[in-house]
């Protein structure tokens, strides 16, 4: 029995991701004409049967172009990892090791059911442990500010030498 859900509309995908927001969902974006997609399909099926705590979906990019556009899919196969209704990871290409590593990293356990507890963790001080990955814009902004500061120091140093 297949543990894989086939998605055909963006509305259907959004409803599933919303309903499974506390679980990792791995979506295989594939095409019927794609050789590497056919090669990785049995591996994806095996992972779906192995990791019961993870939701597995397939999207045929030719039949569900709306979903493929929403996730900016540009190569097949592409595996998108969704948690909390957010994309947290992506693997492009038929790389079984990278797909399984992503599942282990974002599902919180080696088999998706290995004694992990749902919900946020707690620290000794009683404050909740953050469960979301910070948006990448924060990291980029830090580097932009550092680059601007370095540029200003270089520019101001040259101005003093010219005087």
Angle of CA points 84, 86, 87, to nearest 5° = 130
β-bridge partners, 6 = 58
From the list 4, 34, 47, 103, the catalytic residue is 34
Asked if residues 119 and 63 have their Cβ atoms less than 8 Å apart, the reply is no
Residue 57 is a catalytic residue: no
Asked if residues 120 and 131 have their Cβ atoms less than 8 Å apart, the reply is yes
Residue 37 is a catalytic residue: yes
Nearest CA to 75 among 22, 31, 133, 26?
Answer: 31
From the list 4, 27, 37, 57, the catalytic residue is 37
Which residues are tagged catalytic?
A: 34, 37
């Amino acid at each position: 029995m297949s543990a894989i859900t086939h998605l055909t509309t963006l509305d259907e995908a959004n409803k599933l991701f919303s309903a499974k927001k506390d679980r990792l969902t791995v979506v295989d974006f594939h095409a019927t004409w794609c050789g590497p997609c056919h090669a990785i399909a049995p591996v994806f099926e095996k992972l779906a049967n192995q990791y019961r705590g993870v939701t597995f979906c397939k999207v045929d990019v030719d039949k569900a172009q709306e979903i493929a556009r929403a996730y900016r899919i540009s190569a097949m196969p592409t595996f998108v990892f969704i948690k909390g209704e957010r994309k947290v990871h992506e693997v492009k290409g038929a790389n079984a090791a990278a797909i399984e590593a992503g599942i282990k990293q974002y599902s919180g356990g080696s088999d998706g059911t290995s004694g992990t507890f749902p919900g946020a963790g707690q620290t000794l001080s009683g404050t909740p442990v953050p469960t979301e990955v910070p948006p990448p814009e924060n990291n980029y902004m830090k580097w932009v500010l550092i680059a601007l500061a370095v540029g200003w120091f270089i520019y101001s140093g040259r101005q003093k030498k010219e005087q």
